[in-house]
Amino acid sequence: NAGVTQTPKFQVLKTGQSMTLQCAQDMNHNSMYWYRQDPGMGLRLIYYSASEGTTDKGEVPNGYNVSRLNKREFSLRLESAAPSQTSVYFCASSEQRNQETQYFGPGTRLLVL
Amino acid sequence: DAKTTQPNSMESNEEEPVHLPCNHSTISGTDYIHWYRQLPSQGPEYVIHGLTSNVNNRMASLAIAEDRKSSTLILHRATLRDAAVYYCILGLTGNQFYFGTGTSLTVIP
């Protein structure tokens, strides 16, 4: 099993450009999450999806949209990138929402110029 | 949001035990205490979690105070591969984890 995979690994954008970060898991997990991690900081939750067909805002949702395409895939979209969105983005999944262990992907490093 | 307090950094000699403390004075009765670690340039990985009783697994032990307002992650014999940032997190209802800045553990050969 690959676990949680993310694409791309690294991306450079210009201010105002859009892009979609992809995440997929092969563990048949119900819940999926998107976090961002700024230098020297802990992770902050952007959006999560408790189950297929549902999404909810986390701590820092502004400037992002998400799509739970199916049970395996959860994408994060930046419609108009800003330098403040320069960060490392991590996707995670868990079997259920409540108190379950989360499994993280390797991250996508995004630089917005 | 539930807060945890951890020292910014700690050092340990290789093959010695390491005790990583965490304070969580605002913990509620249903919050689990989770520990994750993040190796350089990687995503966080699960270490251990518990509710009230002390817990052991192959990676570590978790000692939880009787009033649950603090906990300690114990690595029994630190190795160089244990050098990482360790996060103590309260698992809130709905599984919204709030990561702090964690403790950066340096293991000295």
| Cα-to-chain-centroid distance, residue B67 | 17
Helix/strand/coil (H/E/C) assignment for every residue in chain B:
CCCCECCCEEEEECCCCEEEEEECCCCCCCCEEEEEEECCCCCCEEEEEECCCCEECCCCEEEECCCCCEEEEEECCCCHHHCEEEEEEEECCCCCECCCCCEEEEEEC
| Cis peptide bond N-terminal to B40, omega within 30 | no
pLDDT band at A98 (very low <50, low <70, confident <90, very high): low
Q: Alpha-carbon distance B96 to A66, whole Å?
A: 17
Give residue A65's Cα distance to chain centre. 10
The answer to whether residue B1 scores a pLDDT higher than 60 is: no
Of residues A83, A11, A32, A106, the one with CA closest to residue B42:
A106
Say which DSSP state A73 is in.
Answer: B
Q: Which residues of B touch A100 (CB under 8 A)?
A: 95
Digit-coded pLDDT (tens) for A48-58: 998 888 999 98
- pLDDT band at A39, cuts 50/70/90? confident
Give the helix/strand (H/E) hosting A34.
strand A31-37
Residues in chain B within 8 Å Cβ distance of A99 = 32, 49, 91, 95
For residue B97, name the pLDDT band (cuts at 50, 70, 90): confident
Beta strands B70-75; B61-64: pairing state: antiparallel
Whether the predicted pLDDT of B35 surpasses 60: yes
Min Cα separation A48/chain B (Å): 9
Chain B CB contacts of A45 below 8 Å: 96-98
CB–CB contact A45 B1 (8 Å): no
Contacts of B95 in chain A (CB under 8 A): 31, 48, 94, 96-100, 102
Question: Distance between CA atoms of A109 and A29, rounded to whole angstroms?
Answer: 24
| Greater model confidence, B95 or A67 | A67
**Rg of chain B, C-alpha, whole Å:** 13
Q: Are A40 and B100 in contact (CB under 8 A)?
A: no
Answer whether A99 sits within 8 Å of B32, measured CB to CB: yes
Among A12-16, B46-50, B76-80, B99-103, the least confident range: B99-103
From the list B35, B33, B16, B6, the residue with the least C-alpha distance to B104 is B6
Establish if B32 touches chain A: CB-CB under 8 angstroms. Answer: yes
Lowest mean pLDDT among A86-95, B53-62, B73-82, B95-104: B95-104
For residue B14, the distance in angstroms to the closest alpha carbon of chain A comes to 25
Other Cβ atoms within 10 Å of A101 Cβ, number: 17
